[in-house]
Structure 1
């Protein structure tokens, strides 16, 4: 080391992290979304990080901000909401490729939060509620269809067997008597009614 000409630069080679400040991004389908992220990186070549770029840490921060906007701008809103992990991997690969010549390795990128406009949040909540109501109506309609089929089959069985109809009649009377404390008067025996029912 030559005195008065050479200087010592200390380089931290441990993993460091920083927060990408919230960025307002216009998605591919023209929706404004506010997104922020966290980037984890470390210096792999201290000599290159000092000689190849001025202020390697701040340059990595600026590159992360622009990469976040560029990657998010190529995606639809549905892709942003469902494929956050793949978008983070894409960002990490893009930043790492650019910082490789600076002696910096980007280890991980995490998308922290995604804030949608309030009007869009209300519209999405209304759409989800409508979808839930539609599913409930379909389930109720299926239940009605199955019940009507069961009643049709039961009526066919009872029409073929008069004793089954009489047992069902007695079971209904038993249920009514159990629910309410009342006296039940049989107006006619079932044998007399069966003649009119067959006609």
Structure 2
């Protein structure tokens, strides 16, 4: 659980991911951490604190936050952090892990209160930079869940549906406009050749007959209909 622990042996092997802070008669030896490798200490005068430099994580309890745009949300986050200054982490606080947990909860709530709902998931690096101190560096802040009120969910769903409907109507209107331009050009081309108009007329009758499974008969000849159309 913890990132550091006490050692009272006369010799100790410090692992690659650990650093040892040695206190001799209450003072840090050479002012820096030792390791990795074999560590020799004086049994009666030295006290050693081993600090784990690996990345650790903890879950922040669900926080009820009021965002900048006055939306109340519940945020469930996970914080990943590591110790980058072993000496500072030992001499600054009694329990680094406990203090980091409490600091993450309060700082996360304060930071989220200054952001709008749309910006919460896109600004994690800035929030990680805010959660630093006592030799601790927060590497990542991941949101496991962001819960919105039911009324707000319904309002957002209705808004999204309205946007989709408006977009569909715009697309349909653009399609009709393009189709009208194409029909206008086709009519101009057909007006130059009456035979083209007649063939198109017959093709349309054929399509209607095939779809309806019926036969269409016109007692009036097509030439006579064209003569009336010219008049």
- Residue 25 of structure 1 aligns to a residue whose secondary structure is strand
1:103 aligned to 125, 135, 140, which one?
Answer: 135
Q: Report Cα offsets for 1:65-108 as digits up to 9, x if no partner.
A: 1111111111112222xxx242x111111112xx1xx2223222
- 3-state SS in 2 of match to 1:187: coil
Q: What is the rounded CA distance, in whole Å, between the counterparts of 1:46 and 1:173 in structure 2?
A: 89
Change (3 A) 1:122 1:8: same
Structure 1 residue runs of 5 or longer lacking an equivalent are none
Q: 1:163 to 1:51 in 2, by over 3 A?
A: same
Paired residues in the alignment total: 190
If the length of structure 1 is used for normalisation, what is the TM-score? 0.85
| Cα distance change on mapping 1:45 and 1:162 into 2, 3 Å | closer
Q: Match of 2:37? A: none
Question: What are the equivalent positions in structure 2 for 1:128-139 lying under 5 Å apart?
Answer: 128-139=160-171
C-alpha separation between the residues in 1 aligned to 2:144 and 2:198? 69
Correspondence 1:144 to 2:176? yes
Runs of 4+ in 1 over 6 A off after TM superposition: none
Counterpart in the other structure of 2:72: 32
**Which structure has more strand as a fraction of its residues?**
2
* Aligned Cα root-mean-square deviation (Å): 2.0
User: Which structure carries more relative contact order (alpha carbon 8 Å, separation 6+)?
Assistant: 1
Distance in 1 (CA, whole Å) between partners of 2:54 and 2:214 is 86
Q: Which has the higher helix share?
A: 1
For residues 4-30 of structure 1, give each alpha carbon's deviation from its aligned partner in whole angstroms, at most 9, with x where no partner exists: x86544433322111111111111121
The separation in 1 between residues aligned to 2:186 and 2:172, in whole angstroms, is: 21
Structure-2 change in CA distance of 1:21 and 1:198 (3 Å): same
Alignment of 1:164 with 2:196, yes or no, is: yes
Q: TM-score, normalised by structure 2?
A: 0.74
Matches within 5 A, 1:13-162: 13-80=53-120, 84-86=121-123, 88-96=124-132, 99=133, 102-162=134-194
1:48 CA drift (Å) = 2.6
With over 3 angstroms needed to count, the CA separation of the structure-2 counterparts of 1:48 and 1:79, relative to structure 1, is: closer
2:223 alignment counterpart: 191
Q: 1:97-156: per-residue Cα shift (whole Å, max 9, x none)?
A: xx1xx2223222222221111110110000000000000111111112222222222222
Q: 1:42, 1:21 → 2: CA distance?
A: 20
Aligned to 2:115, the other structure's residue is in SS state coil
